[in-house]
Structure 1
Amino acid sequence: MNDTYITVVGNVADDPRRKVTEKGAVTNFRMASTARRYDSGSGQYVDSGTFWIDVECWNGLSSNVAGSVSKGDPVIVQGTLTTHEWESDNGPRRKPQLRASAVGPNLTKGMAVFKRDRSGRAPDPAAGQELAAVPDARPGAEVTDPGWDYHGDGATLSPVDGPDLPQEPAHA
C-alpha cells in the first residue's frame, strides 16, 4: 500500500461535527496551516500562504476529538492524505482530505490537561467524578485530584518561565 502519511500543524477553523454512520462514528473539522518565515529585509516574521484541509476522525478518535477540540484550537494532526472527489454543477471537483490517525494540542501555543481514555478497561473507582477545576498548573503546586499521575512538591519540575530562558519572538 502506498498511503501518503503527513503531519499538519495549524488551527481548527470550525467547530468539529460528529455523526454516526453505518461505518462508525466520524468527526470532521476544517484546519488551516499558515507557514511563517523570517524576512531578513524587514527583520520580522511574515505569513506565507495558508493551506486548508478537511480532517476526518473515525471511531474512538472521533469521540475524543469531538469532546476535546474546538474552533481556534492549535492542533497537530497526523494521518493519511487523500483526495475527496465529487460531482458539482460545474463538473468534477477535488480537495485534499486528511484521515487522522492522531490529533493533539500544539503545546508550543499553550498548556493542555490530558485525561486518559479508559474505555475497555476495568472500572476506575474515580470514574464518573469530573474534576471541578483544573488544578493549579504552576510548578510546585500540589496536585491532589484523583486521576493525576504526579503527586509531589514540585522540586523535580522545571519552571515554565525563568530568568535563564531566552526570549522567543511571538508567533501568532
Structure 2
Amino acid sequence: MNDTYVTVVGNVVDAPRRYRPDSGNPVTNFRMASTSRRYDNRSHEYVDGGTFWVDVECWNDLSGNVSGSISKGDPVIVHGALTTHSWEGDSGRRSVPRIKAFAVGPNLARGRADFTRTQRAARPGGEGGQEPEAEGQGAGGGPTGSDEIPVPGRDYVTADAALHRSDAPELAAEPAHV
C-alpha cells in the first residue's frame, strides 16, 4: 500500500457540505486553497506565488466535527491521504486532487480557537479500570468512530486548574516588534 500522505495549510473556499451517501457513513466535503508566499528582494515585500486548489473529504465523526466547526474563509490545516478524483465531462476526461482527511484543524497562527471534546458514550467491558479496546483505527492511525471515553493518563481530562482561560491577562495581545 503506497498512500501519499500530505499536510496542507490554506483557507476554506466554500461552505462545507455534509450528506449521507448510500454507504450510510456521513461525509463532509469542502474545497480549500493554499497559496505560496515568498519574499521578493527587488520590491522588499512578500508576494503571492501559485495557488494549490484541493477538494477535502471527511468521513464519520470527523464529518460532523468539521461541518459544525469550519466555515468558508477559515484558515485550516488538513492532514490526510492525497488521491485524484477523475470523471468524464462534456469536454473530456477531467480530474482534481482530493484529500481524504484524517485530521482537520484551525490554523492557530492566524487566530484563536476554543476546543470542545466530542462526548462519547461508555462501552460495556470498559469499566473496572480496564481500558476499552481500540477500535475503528483509520489508515492514518487515528480514531474513525469509536465510542471511547477519555482515559486519564492517555487522553486529556478536564481540569480547570490545568488550563489557562482564553481571556487570561498573560495571553493579552502584544504589539509586534519589528
Q: TM-score range, shorter-chain basis?
A: 0.7 to 0.9
Map residues 45-84 of structure 1 onto 2, 5 A cutoff. Answer: 45-84=46-85
Distance apart, 1:20 and its partner CA: 0.5
Regions of 4+ moved over 4 Å: none
Matched residue, 2:113: 112
Alpha-carbon offset, residue 21 of structure 1: 1.4
Partner of 1:39: 40
C-alpha offsets along residues 109-128 of structure 1, whole Å, 9 cap, x if unaligned?
00000000112348xxxxxx
User: How many angstroms apart in 2 are the aligned matches of 1:118 and 1:153?
Assistant: 19
Q: Which SS does the other structure have where 2:99 is aligned? A: strand
Partner of 1:22: 22
| 2:177 is the counterpart of 1:167 | yes
Q: How many pairs align?
A: 142
**Unpaired stretches in structure 2, ≥5 consecutive residues:** 124-156
RMSD over aligned CA atoms reads 2.6
Aligned to 2:132: none
Partner SS state of residue 10, structure 1: strand
- How do 1:119-134 residues align onto structure 2 when only pairs under 5 Å count? 119-121=120-122
Counterpart check, 1:150 vs 2:160: yes
CA shift digits 1:121-170 (9 cap, x unpaired): 48xxxxxxxxxxxxxxxxxxxxxxxx96434896x98435447xx536xx
How far apart, CA to CA, are the structure 2 residues paired with 1:17 and 1:65? 10
Q: 1:54 to 1:152 in 2, by over 3 A?
A: closer
Amino acid at match of 2:52: F
State how far apart, in whole Å, the 1-side matches of 2:122 and 2:72 are. 31
Q: What CA distance in whole angstroms lies between the structure 2 residues aligned with 1:119 and 1:59?
A: 14
Relative to the length of structure 2, the TM-score reads: 0.72
Separation of aligned partners in 2, 1:31 and 1:99: 13
